Amino acid sequence: MKRLFTGMITIALGAYSVSAQTGAGFEVASIKLSDPAPGGMQIGVSPGGVFTAKNVTLKALIRQAWDVRDFQIVGGSGWLDTERYDIVAKGGGTSVSEDDVRKMTDQQRNDFKEQMLGKVRALLADRFQLRVHRETRELPVYGLVISKSGAKFQAAADNDVMRSGLTIRRGDTGKTELTATRVPMASLVKSLSDQVGRTVLDQTGLQGNYDFKITYAPDMAATSETDGPSIFTALQEQLGLRLDSQKGPVEVVVIDSAQKASEN
């Protein structure tokens, strides 16, 4: 099954276990402190609608549950970035099979994702006593526009929804490779926002789904040509797109209160 959320896969063992009814979300959830050994994070949904998170911070869970980036999260204590948990939550009418997902339209898949995110938000409110509110602030943003030379990529050749997605990996040359298969511009701007540390607004006017690939330096601060072009240069030279620095409204999530998960 294609994951609805992304993360780095690792294995983490718990120091204590909590299991209780979550009320208006999942029927049951287990929360454990992660093994203190260093490692990456995994956040995903498996067949049957089981939400699993390993070695995750509350800040990472907030990013996923509200679909925001670090620069859009305001407030909160330092432990939100350091205390790590393993979570398994299930039930509450979200059972789906791999075949169910395969038959979904894009809209149905988005609806299912939002249903799961709503349950994660309810879980965080119940077990971490998390209280947040949204605000809109005027912040630096980038506008993604088409360069004067025009876009240098084509519309996707097929409509196989199970082959759609965007991946970022370190290539054999050491450069970063971003590969998109049947994705809309919305997927690209979301990925770019994660990488450049600002909200990116789609101002291309491009509709539909596209296939493309770009290669660029793995480090935003890289200056040597051997490291590869910057992501800004790669977008312009390889895709015919440009990031324009602007000011614009950015929605932020303000943390009003939060507590470490308890054993009851």
pLDDT digit string, tens, across residues 64-94: 999 899 999 999 999 999 999 999 998 866 5
CA dihedral over 160, 69, 243, 146, signed as positive or negative: positive
The mean-pLDDT minimum among 95-99, 106-110, 126-130, 149-153 falls in 95-99
Half-sphere exposure of 141 (CA within 13 A, CB side): 20
Contact 29, 262 (CB under 8 A): no
pLDDT digit string, tens, across residues 185-228: 999 999 999 899 999 999 999 999 999 999 999 876 555 555 78
